[in-house]
Structure 1
Amino acid sequence: MARVRPTATVSDWLLSVAEVLPLPHRAVPPYTLGEAVAELGDYAQVVDASEWNRDRPTRKNRRSLQIEIQAQSGAIGGRLGALVAHLLDDLRDDANQEAVVTATTKFGEVWHSDIAVTDAFGDLSAAAKMGTTSAALRRLAAIVTSQVGPSARGPFSVLTYAADALVNTEDQLASESVGPLPGPLTEERRFEMAREILVAPPVGQVVVWTVYSRALLWGMREVIGPMTFLRADWALPNAFEHKWHDFPEREELRELRENVHWLDDLHSEALEQGNRLTLVRVDLGERQVAGAADEARRRIEAIVSIAVEAGGVSWQNAGATAVLLDGKARISSGGITVRQTRTADDDSYGIGGTGKILSTVADEFADVLAKGPMPEQLVEALTSLREARMTDHRDVSFYGARRVTPRVATALEDHAMELFASALKVPASELATALQRREALRQADGRIAAQLMAPLDEVWSRGPNAGRDQLERKISSYSRDGIRLVSVAKAVALQDEIRALPMSELKRADFEDALAICTLPDRERQLLDETWRETGLLRARHRRVRNAVNHGLPLNEVTLNSIRNYAESTSKIALDIALTWFKNGESGAALIQREEKAWTERIDRISSGLSCVDEDARNNEES
């Protein structure tokens, strides 16, 4: 869901666009046609000319990228498609390496142009007016996200501001703008305001201030190019309390204090004995505000890495950031986190969860472990996956464990998958296909459940409704692990009662689409075909990412992050298969065949004309 909460009486299509336009919380930027073309261009620029048409792996990689570009082309709307059609024609014949570089560069310029953003936003709005599912609208919204780039990310995203323009009241919009709104707030005017926000992100002189803990300078102030490092226990007292020592950044800090409230907290923490805090100012020059904080941290971490490599200690990001545009605070984080390591009592939930999981492990594996230890390959794979999970883990959040980058996590997962295939004695390609089968089914079932529950979710935005709460309890429940379980049969049986609930047209479209999938075998087959194609693209892109990581090829952050969910999900499935092999002693080939059987049995059921609701009824009769 978007951050936007509708506060004005507006049309359903405006509400639909506002709901799907902003990136959901913690979502990674989408991989679209723009990223696929850019990936091809980056690859063409680094491959040796002698290998472009002769080297077999290079030709295979080019073929994979051409398939990706063709598939992603099908996701763009009609207006944008007409604009870039001739540019895509120039990319189809990729035998000429220099021509590929030229064509991809030109495509990138057009892709991020104002006219392309306007066309993509028009495609999204036109689809919303016609009425469709949230999945279809989010595919079109992803195009806009790709085009505006870093401006799409963060709490002050242009996507969020554009969504506000579509649904907020006139008073709210007037309070956020400079002066009164021009003209009446018609649908056309709302659309134009949103478009102007998307094509005109703020640009100016950008400076980023951020804080690191466990960070001590040799002196009080250190300047390294555009970066200035200041000891917080020296700089802040001199800026806020007395004038013993002057320094160039002093007045900027004093002015910044009025709007950046974490500076006072930092001032107090800096004077606490034992805290080692360093303020860092990074002058990024003339640029957009969007993405400035990430860019500043990237530059700082590169410098700190030199010190760590030479024997120093890693600094820890304290979570406090302020971004200035032309000398004025534009973005500020909520607070500062100084102490990364907490006591055991602070995380009783996590520690208790560990104990519970170990109890389950004891029940599952006590007998087989009594006969002998785990094979070395399985032990190595487990430790590799444990390290890979440190991109975002309780050990990182609560106990100061070293955070692993997505690039390193991908390499570790790749290593673990090779070990799993070796232990199971199956070809790596067969294991990858089995994992794709399971993932495609998981995504299909997840979409069905989410769309069936769409009219019952996000109650906070519509107020209490006793009937809605009662239906939700009838249709869904939660496992002991907190996973929501949705009964397809009950949702279909109660469809008329659900339809009677107040809901947006977008949620209604999602619900009706899910009902069709559950009751019409042909529609369910379409969904399975769709998830199989999508996971196939992810699998091929995952392979390209692994090759880039292992061979030092260019790898865009968006491309890398776009495969992280797939990489993590399939590695978990592979671990589950490997642990089953270890516990039960079944052959790896038999376990892989079981994964294939789950897919073929579902396809056979659909081919026989049985819907998933029919299947549930038959299973109930047999039991």
Structure 2
Amino acid sequence: MSNWTHPTIGENVVRVRPTATVSDWLLSVAEVLPLPHRAVPPYTLGEAVAELGEYAQAVDASDWNSRFARNNRHSLRTEIQAQSEAIGRRLGALVAPLLDDLRDDANQEAVVAAATKFGEVWHSEIAVTDAFRDLCAAAKVFGMTSRALRRLSAIIASQVGPAAHSTFSLLSHAADALVNTEEDLARWRDAPIAEPLTEEHRLEMAKDSLVAAPVGRVVVWTVFYRALLSGMREVIGPMTFLRADWALPNAFELELHDFPERAELRGIREKVSWLEDLNVEALKPENRLTLVRIDLGERQVAGAEEEARRRIEAVISVAVEAGGVSWQSAGAATVLLDGKVRSSSLGLTVRNVPVLEDDTYGMGGTAEILSSVADQFGDALAKGPMPERLIEALTSLREARMTDHRDVLFYGARRVTPRIATALEDHAIELFASVLRVPAADLAAALQRREALSQADRRTVGQLMAPFNEAWSRERYEGRDELERRISKYSRGGVRLVSVAKAVALQDEIRALPMSKLQRADLEDALAICTDPDRERQLLGEMWRETELLRSRHRRVRNAVNHGLPLHETTLSSIRNYAADTSRTALNIALTWFKNGDPGAALLQREEKAWTDQMDRIGRGMSWAEESAQTGEES
């Protein structure tokens, strides 16, 4: 039997090939310092303390001493203790007083402050230097294993953050400084190197590399395909979307139209090779390409491309969740630092999908929704990005909609099962509650109130319009279409809006339409609901009881999904509409919070007020039709 095994996928070992004669311990440091290929970010003491601080910030003060919170805090204290034992002597001495401030976690605000202070020190130059010295000291110990050294190098990766993961990471630069020749280092640094190059010089250069993350004004350019705009240029906060077949010819050749980003495109043209490919591909009629520029402001270059995509995808997720089709990344991106190209991908990837590639209806719908997003959220996004938990909730809902979404039906996207969709929606609801800083139970109750009102609205309006449905199957009636237009219209999104006041005022004309007995019964029932407050109260009571059952069943389904309990497909299917509708309402509440900054509790009170206002109006004896006539609102 063989006495060796293949390494597991994802555990690629970094091998340093030295180009200079250096000490064995320097080779050891250089070998373990860079993260392995495709390695996940390490979890160290810094992450454990940050997790405690974020938890303290997210939990409501009234729940801080609940049994669940105490158990979670105990788990985090145990984690912090274990991780603190893994750090070296120098770094340990530096952070020990800060850890003392975290031991007593009874004061929630004090925990947040202590964790914030710890994070500042953890990522500071002095802490990174101490961690590097700890790694070097350990590497000099005879018999030290790579596993022990990698635990110490993981701490440095945690401290430098995203800069540890980029293609040319700070950790790789530091490793090069330890083992490369003077000539190679001089060429890389574009500066002379002191000769002879001593170990002290190498260590100093390596240390300088670890704390030298470039900071400045960062801008990212990237490209999406299957992406249309309603115009040629759309601005949403710090993001600018440009139709590639318009922007590039005007920037490079035609010069018929000026736009604010034209000079920057011209300036980076020579150093961004994929712009030429994009200029060619954009003019092909089968391609729908959009160029996106996002200004990330003052920050590190490291992680800029990932952050840009995350923010852009969050905005696109709003459109996809509302029914639009997903944009696809063309794999091209360029990062600018203070106006100069810092990094750039080599090529452009446009995958032509044969099925409905020219689906201008779906892509056009996305463009309209995106334009609406620009109108509603441009100002909010200009002030700052969406919170991480809101973005995660958006991403979860976007994935949950992939049960029968247009992306699935026409573009080959992976279909999500109803069970997974339910779990994702449940996760999103918890995230929305966290973002809004309200108890999840309070949010669920407010969503139930809104759903009861919505179901009453949909049922009544559907019955009012029953005589107009499937009119093609009945005899021709002069004026039917005109009558329908007088009481209803369609929104830009294709939703039919009905004026209850106009329908009641024209009830005799509607009754004259040819219809089945069932449609007539539906019509008369709807007219009674709209004109008789007692009948409307009865309907709301019915809808409340129905949604109460749905909410309880939904809770059972979520428990079954999360804990692997028996769950019949019929039971699961019966709550899918309720789960989708309530999660969509929760998203609207959260987006309103992001847009206007209203407290989450106030937004829930607004949802409750919609119910109490309707019941108060009914109690005053005012009918639905009378209110509709006063306000002019459509359902």
TM-score class, shorter: 0.5 to 0.7
Query: What CA deviation, in whole Å up to 9, does each residue of 1:135-163 have, x standing for no partner?
Result: 11111111001111111112021111111
Q: How high is the sequence identity, in percent, across the aligned residues? A: 74
Aligned residues: 372
Q: CA deviation at 1:285?
A: 1.3
Following superposition, the deviation at residue 419 of structure 1 comes to 7.0
Alpha-carbon distance in structure 1 between the residues aligned to 2:169 and 2:211: 13
Verify: 1:59 aligned to 2:70, yes or no. yes
* Counterparts of 1:208 and 1:61, CA distance in 2: 39
* Counterpart contact for 2:215–2:301, Cα < 8 Å: yes
What is the distance in 2 between the residues matched to 1:94 and 1:108?
17
What is aligned with 2:133? Answer: 122
What does residue 172 of structure 2 align with? Answer: 160
Provide the aligned C-alpha RMSD in A: 3.0
Match of 2:122 in 1: 111
CA distance in 2, matches of 1:421, 1:114: 48
The answer to whether the 8 A contact 2:423-2:561 is kept is no
SS of 2:205's partner is helix
Structure with the larger RCO, 1 or 2 (CA within 8 Å, 6+ apart) = 1
Paired with 1:416 and 1:129, the residues of 2 have a C-alpha distance of 54
Match of 1:287 among 296, 299, 304: 299
CA deviation profile, 1:593-622 (whole Å, cap 9, x unmatched): xxxxxxxxxxxxxxxxxxxxxxxxxxxxxx
The equivalent of 2:95 in structure 1 is 84
Contact 1:159 1:198 (C-alpha < 8 Å) held by counterparts: yes
Report how far residue 104 of structure 1 moved.
Answer: 0.8
**Alignment match, 1:327:** 339
The answer on whether the counterparts of 1:156 and 1:331 sit within 8 Å (CA) in structure 2 is no
**Higher-Rg member (1/2):** 2
Match of 1:75 among 86, 89, 99: 86
1:3 and 1:160 in contact (8 A); partners too: no
Q: How has the CA–CA distance of structure 1 residues 421 and 220 changed in structure 2, closer, same or farther, with 3 Å as cutoff? A: closer
Distance 2:141 2:207 in 1: 19
Give the alignment of 1:610-621 within 5 angstroms: none
Aligned to 2:214: 202
Hey, what's the Cα distance between the residues in 2 that align with 1:74 and 1:42?
22
Q: TM-score, normalised by structure 1?
A: 0.56
Q: SS where residue 258 of structure 1 aligns?
A: helix
* Shift of residue 187, structure 1, vs aligned partner: 1.3
CA displacement at 1:5 relative to structure 2 = 3.4
Q: Which residue type is aligned with residue 258 of structure 2? A: D
List alignment gaps of at least 5 residues for structure 1.
Answer: 344-383, 425-551, 553-623
Work out whether 1:31 is the aligned partner of 2:43. yes
The answer to which of 289-298 and 260-269 deviates more is 260-269
> Does structure 2 retain, via aligned residues, the 8 Å contact 1:231–1:277?
yes
Find the aligned partners of 2:118 and 2:34 in 1 and give their Cα distance: 24
d(CA) in 1 for partners of 2:23, 2:135 = 15
Which SS does the other structure have where 1:95 is aligned?
Answer: coil
Counterparts of 2:211 and 2:46, CA distance in 1: 17
| Corresponding residue number in structure 2 for 1:362 | none
Flag the 1:420–1:283 CA change in 2: closer, same or farther, 3 A.
closer
Distance 1:123 1:179, change over 3 A: same
SS at match of 2:291: strand
SS of alignment partner, residue 171 of structure 1:
helix
Alpha-carbon distance between aligned partners in 2 of 1:23 and 1:181, rounded to the nearest angstrom: 27
Find out whether 1:307 has 2:326 as its counterpart: no
Instruction: Kindly state the Cα deviation for residue 306 of structure 1 after the two structures are TM-superposed.
Output: 2.1
Shift of 1:278: 0.7
Structure 1 residues 29 and 119, CA, compared in 2 at 3 Å: closer, same or farther?
A: same
Distance 1:62 1:403, change over 3 A: farther
Say if 2:16 and 2:27, in contact at 8 Å, map to a contact too.
no
Check 1:111–1:422 CA distance in 2 against 1; reply closer, same or farther (3 A cut).
Answer: same
Report the CA distance shift for 1:400/1:254 in structure 2 as closer, same or farther (over 3 A). Answer: farther
State the shift of 1:335 in Å: 1.9
Distance of 1:4 and 1:246 partners within structure 2: 50
Q: What is the one-letter code of the residue matched to 1:11?
A: S
Distance 1:56 1:258, change over 3 A: same
Residue 193 and residue 137 in structure 1: after superposition, are their counterparts in 2 closer, same or farther (change >3 A)? same
Contact preservation (8 Å) 2:218, 2:301: yes
Counterpart in the other structure of 1:147: 159
Q: Report SS of the residue matched to 1:27.
A: coil
**Alignment equivalent of 1:246, drawn from 254, 258, 264:** 258
Work out the CA distance in 2 between the residues paired with 1:403 and 1:33. Answer: 39
Aligned match of 1:269: 281
> Take 1:239 and 1:410, find their aligned partners in 2: how far apart are those partners?
47
